[in-house]
Amino acid sequence: MQRNRPPSAQSIRVLRALAADPAQWRYGYDLATEVHLKSGSLYPILVRLADRGLLETSWEPGVDSRPPRHLYRLTSAGREFVAALPAARADRTVAHPHSRWSEA
């Protein structure tokens, strides 16, 4: 049985970044750079959000010899979830741009 624990502050940062333009598909690396998360933190969050039905994924065909690229955006349930987030909770999620390590 899957437990729906309250999302972490990092998850909410990701959700809010995706909710800024919900129709737009986003790349993982751009998302990580925007919310100042390492890839090691971002991907588990994306997996959890997708498992909970808050995130939909798609593939962009590879360019030249490069591999296909994964894209992400919120589902309608995800948009509703972000809209229902309490304001106080949202305030806590203001990103704190920190060390250079957060770039990845």
Partner 1 sequence: MPLPSVLMLCLLGIGIAMFRRSPQAFLDRPSSDVPTVLLNWAVGLLSDEHAEWGQAMLGELGYIEGRIRRWRFAAGCVIAALLLPPWGRAAAGVWAIIAVAAGSVGLYASLAIRFGLDGGDWVNWAWAAIAAGALAGFVLGSSALLRRPGAAIPGLLAGLILAVVSLAMTGFTFYEVIGTITTFQQNLIVRIGVPFAVGAVGTLWRRDAAVGRRIARLAAVSSGLVLYLYSTLAVTVLGAGGPPDNPGLTGGGIVSDRLGNNLIDLLLGTLLAATVGWAGAAFAGRLRPGPSIPAASSNPQQEA
Q: Which of 1, 2, 23, 61 binds partner 1 (CB under 8 A)?
A: 61
Is 67 a binding residue for partner 1 by CB under 8 A? The answer is yes
- What is the DSSP secondary-structure string of the chain? ----PPPPHHHHHHHHHHHTSTTS-EEHHHHHHHHT--HHHHHHHHHHHHHTTSEEEEEEPPPTTSPPEEEEEE-HHHHHHHHTS-HHHHHTT------GGGG-
For the bound state, the minimum distance from the C-beta of residue 31 to partner 1, rounded and expressed in Å, comes to: 10
* Among 18-26, 51-59, 78-86, 88-96, the segment contacting partner 1 (CB under 8 A): 51-59
Which residues of the chain form contacts with partner 1 (CB under 8 A)?
27-29, 32, 38-44, 46-47, 57-59, 61-62, 66-70, 101, 103-104
